[in-house]
Structure 1
Amino acid sequence: MHFKLLLVFVEDGKTDEVMKAARVAGATGATIINNARGEGITQTKTFFGLNLETQRDVLLFIVEEHLSRAILETIAEVAGFDEMPGKGIAIQLDIEDAVGVAHQVQQLSSAVEEQI
């Protein structure tokens, strides 16, 4: 079984909604890193020298490759990435090797067979 890593940078208020939608789409779980920050094309606004940027969370999903695109698209839709700039981004990367995912292989096998 081959896996992909989905890196999702999302507004912290959308994290729970994205997690629920990703699970429905086939993700088995994620690691969440809180309180990240970033800057896009336009700089963040300031008020008396204080940044008025929203906090971001980074979600790391290891997903089976046949399910990865559907999960990625679901995340983008739920998080509203294409609605307006600054909502967040999600990318996927190939995973060459992984350990600690053997318990997921049995659960994923039937889901992947349905997709193929």
Structure 2
Amino acid sequence: MTLEELMEEGTTAVALGELAQAVEHFRKATEIAPEHFEAWHSLGMALMKAERHAEAVEAGLRAVRLNPQDQFARVSLSMCFQRNGQIPEAEAEAAKAKILGWGGKLLPNEPGQPMSKA
């Protein structure tokens, strides 16, 4: 399957509640395109819905590292951290998402860590 087909099949599987299949499709997408932001983000969301929270955090971290200025990815990562019991990290990502929502930019730092100071 092509990347596009895997992404489409994964999205359809999520919509149908077939989370194991969705995870499989999105994971294959990340294998053939390891720098594809949307594949990692989608994998993280499917894993979170499947209650595989630690794995969801890892996929979410990868997505945010690929696209650190994406507000939605930051919100998603915050949710993954929260569901994995990592509250300080969840709060840090939520704060970053809020700044991005206000039209701001983030300084480089590791996802899940407090914001860098200029």
TM-score, normalised relative to structure 1: 0.25
TM-score, normalised relative to structure 2: 0.25
Higher strand proportion (structure 1 or 2): 1
Higher helix proportion (structure 1 or 2): 2
Task: Pick 1 or 2: higher relative contact order, CA cutoff 8 A, min separation 6.
Answer: 1
